[in-house]
Amino acid sequence: MRGSVRTRTTVAATAVVAIALVIAGLAVVLLLRSNLASQAQLQAELTARQLASQLAAGTAPSALDLDDEQRPVRITDAKGNVVAATDGLSAVDGATVPKPTVKPTPKPTPTPKPTATPDDDGDDDPDDPDDSDGRGNDTPTPPAGRVADGDASYSTGPATVDGRTAEFRFATVKVTLPNNGGEATVQAGAELATARDAVDTVSRALLIGLPLLLAVVAAVTWFVTRRALAPVEAIRAELAGITAARDLRRRVPVPDSRDEVARLARTTNDTLTALETSVARQRGFVADASHELRSPIASLRTQLEVAAAHPELLELDELIADTVRLQHLAADLLLLARLDAGDHPEPQRIALAELVREQTAGRNVTLDIHDEPVVLGNKARLARVFGNLLDNAERHAQQEIRVLVRAAGDRAFVSVQDDGPGVPEADRERIFERFVRLDDARSRDEGGAGLGLAIARDLAHSHDGTLSVSAAPAGGASFDLELPTAPRQG
């Protein structure tokens, strides 16, 4: 879906609410319809059972008070003849309801008085099993009526009462009449118009209210999203201004809220700060590199011009020294550029003590190796670290250079110590900056570009290690390299 975040959010929220409301509305309508239909069916069944109970009790069909009922009632006998019906009922389910056939109420048959006849055993004991009914007489009792067991049967159809046709829910109950009156069927109905009117009213209310509610949801979502995204828009506008002006000193506004947008603004400002620092560092690096390259190039040009004019004045040793110095400087600048670009060769397992022995061979160095740690890294670059540290120690040492190798836990430590003047505490971080040379170092090593320690620290960081400087026990400087050890094989 294309469009702004606010538009997509509004459309999505409105669609979700619409689906939920439609489902809920359908559920309400269906539940309401089912409940009202069940209520009408229950009313019809209650009416049918009440009338059936009266018939079973001996009330004649014509004597039933059906005019008080607000529902159509039809009573038929076993042959299907209508014996009683609601006044004004003319049709049920499309079939005409004839006038009730009024049958005379059967009179009860008189019971003859029993003739005194002695029992076979010569007594009139009512408990005598020879008596026919166990009560001292042999007259049979007429059977009583009863409502048929089981559930009523139901149907739905139209009925016409007083010329008005409507839909009804009918319940039919079977009843056995007393005094061998046979079986009758009671059919009573409850009108469904009220239930349907209620369902229609609720449906119309939902159809009218649903669009209004969706409009409210869309409007509220639109304004809430607009308010929530206002800080994001401010951040975007400020970033666009920073890009257009190329001014990394500017910062995006941070909202007062403590939500994701505020964290985004703070992270963006941190990124701008890091970018500003990186750009400033890059500019300084380019300026310093240009300055450092200009001197040997100018010297080479001067010597070549003199040699062209006066070949007898050519000094090859000085010319070669300037060329080597320029070559080393170019190599250092290329290595720094690769480190800044994140160039990390595939690591390999390196025996750190053995590498230290290789780098100190031929140098006047005292080795103090306590452990044989193994680290992961690039052997050539770690050798460059030790070479730079040893070169720096040789420039400043008075008499002794000591190299210590030890391990503790999962860390390996190498310290290069000298007995020189040391490094002032205020300059212990500054000496690792690029093209930085302290006055004492400059006087002792003219022509140095000030990249050795900077390269050593950057290489240490590329191996997940650290490089720091402290005071040596002999009074000079101690450059301490810390690296993580490699996991054990197998």
Cα 251 from Cα 242, distance rounded (Å): 8
Residue 404 has pLDDT above 90, yes or no: yes
Cα 378 from Cα 346, distance rounded (Å): 7
pLDDT in tens, 50-62: 888 888 888 888 7
DSSP state of 99: P
Residue 14 has pLDDT above 50, yes or no: yes
Mean pLDDT of 403-410: 94
Of 457, 403, 463, the closest CA to residue 430 belongs to: 457
- At residue 342 the predicted structure's pLDDT band, cuts being 50, 70 and 90, is confident
Q: What is the pLDDT of residue 378?
A: 93
- Tell me how crowded residue 167 is: count the other CB atoms within 10 A of its CB: 15
Token pair for residue 158? 């139209």
**Top-confidence residue, 292 or 320:** 320
Cα 6 from Cα 95, distance rounded (Å): 64
Contact status, residue 238 vs residue 252, Cβ threshold 8 Å? yes
Contact status, residue 378 vs residue 343, Cβ threshold 8 Å? no
pLDDT in tens, 110-133: 545 454 444 444 455 545 544 444
pLDDT in tens, 88-100: 888 887 677 777 7
Q: What is the pLDDT of residue 19?
A: 93
Mean pLDDT of 227-242: 88
Q: Which residues contact 284 (CB under 8 A, 6 or more apart)?
A: 434, 435
Q: What is the pLDDT of residue 176?
A: 87
Contact status, residue 130 vs residue 119, Cβ threshold 8 Å? yes
Give percent of the chain above pLDDT 70: 86
Contact status, residue 400 vs residue 366, Cβ threshold 8 Å? yes
> Which range is least confidently modeled, 101-105, 227-231, 299-303, 461-465?
101-105
Q: What is the pLDDT of residue 3?
A: 65
Q: What is the pLDDT of residue 70?
A: 60
User: Domains in the chain, please, with CATH?
Assistant: 1-99+128-231 (no CATH), 260-340 (1.10.287), 348-484 (3.30.565.10)
Residue 477 has pLDDT above 70, yes or no: yes
pLDDT in tens, 156-214: 888 888 888 888 889 999 988 887 778 888 888 888 888 888 888 888 998 898 899 99
Which residue type sits at 198?
Answer: A
Residue 459 has pLDDT above 50, yes or no: yes
- At residue 389 the predicted structure's pLDDT band, cuts being 50, 70 and 90, is very high
DSSP state of 363: S
Question: DSSP states of 122-154 as a string?
Answer: S---TT-TTSSSSSS--PPPPPPPEEPSSPPEE
Which range scores top for mean pLDDT: 1-10, 85-94, 160-169, 259-268?
A: 259-268
Instruction: Cite the beta strand spans of 177-269 per DSSP E.
Output: 183-191
Alpha helix (H) residue ranges in 314-446: 316-340, 352-360, 379-396, 439-444
Q: Which residues contact 74 (CB under 8 A, 6 or more apart)?
A: 82, 84, 85, 86, 89, 92, 97, 186, 187
pTM: 0.52
Q: What is the pLDDT of residue 437?
A: 72
Exposure string of 74-100, with b = 16+ CB inside 10 Å and e = fewer, is bbbbeeeebbbbbeebbebeeeebeeb
Residue 415 has pLDDT above 60, yes or no: yes
Token pair for residue 71? 């529902």
> Which range is least confidently modeled, 33-47, 247-261, 426-440, 476-490?
426-440
What residue has token string 């009218």? 208
Which residue type sits at 32?
Answer: L
Rounded to an integer, what is the distance from CA 226 to the centroid of its chain? Answer: 23
Strands 366-369 and 73-76: unpaired
- Region of residue 134 (phi > 0: left; psi between -120 and 50: alpha; otherwise: beta): left
Of 345, 354, 353, 337, the closest CA to residue 463 belongs to: 345
Residue 286 has pLDDT above 80, yes or no: no
Q: What is the pLDDT of residue 440?
A: 45
Token pair for residue 203? 């449906």
Q: What is the pLDDT of residue 267?
A: 93
Contact status, residue 74 vs residue 187, Cβ threshold 8 Å? yes
Q: What is the pLDDT of residue 356?
A: 94
